[in-house]
Amino acid sequence: MIGTLINIVAVLLGGGLGTLLGDRLPQRVRETVMHGIGLVTLVVGIHLTLETQNVLIVMGSVLVGALLGEWWRIAAGLDRASEWLRRGVARRLSSRSMAHFTEGFVTASLVFCVGPMTILGAIQDGLTGDFTLLAIKSVLDGFAALAFASTLGVGVVFSILTLIIYQGGMSLLAGLAERVLTTPMIAEMTATGGVLILAIGLLLLDLKRIRVANLLPALLIAPLIVAALQALGLPVAL
């Protein structure tokens, strides 16, 4: 868990500094920064999506995940949770910092928790205590938190809750995760996560507002599809 704790501190520092700087930046500067982040986010999403060995697995995962997400109304539930958090801190913070609370929370949570460094780093930290990968990730997340928070506000800081639950939980369950997640499973889960990151990039560029939270089940569906193919003796790669 040491790696996750370092990651949390990095996000707190970066997000806190970004929130403070945001009020002092002109609107045009914040918009340009937001668009720059959006473009880089698209690049990251494309890079992660190219991890796939079978795009049909990614497509199936996203489709099934979207159906499950809409059925379970994950986005609506996350909005309610974000609103509860927002009300709890709204009195102490500026209205600008709270204006994009849910967007900042969801965006940062996905960006910080999707990718091979999260999975491999958390497992490595939990099994051997080696937090090198998560330390590197923490530096990257700290700078990303600063950039996100300067435009999306304090919601970015509260993404540490997702880090604690997801990344920290994976470290605690590292032994099980290592036995369950094969290399093809991690690759397809990462590629599917890349699609979600692409959706965030479109959102940051104001091109299309996608209910990204309702696509989250896709991250669970991808390794399940790989496991089913492996159990049937079918090839995973095209």
Give the pTM: 0.79
Confidence at residue 52, expressed as pLDDT on a 0 to 100 scale: 94
Asked if 117 and 66 count as a contact pair (C-beta separation under 8 A), the reply is no
DSSP 68-82: HHHHHTHHHHHHHHH
User: Which tens digits make up the pLDDT trace of 49-105?
Assistant: 998 999 999 999 999 999 999 999 988 887 777 667 666 655 555 555 555 777 788
Q: Which residues of 128-140 are buried (b: 16+ CB within 10 A; e: fewer)?
A: eeebebbbebbeb
Give, as one character, the DSSP assignment of residue 162.
H
User: Which tens digits make up the pLDDT trace of 7-52?
Assistant: 999 999 999 998 888 767 777 877 887 788 788 878 888 988 998 9
User: Which tens digits make up the pLDDT trace of 217-237?
Assistant: 998 999 999 999 999 999 999
Between CA 81 and CA 158 the distance in angstroms is 11
Between CA 170 and CA 22 the distance in angstroms is 33
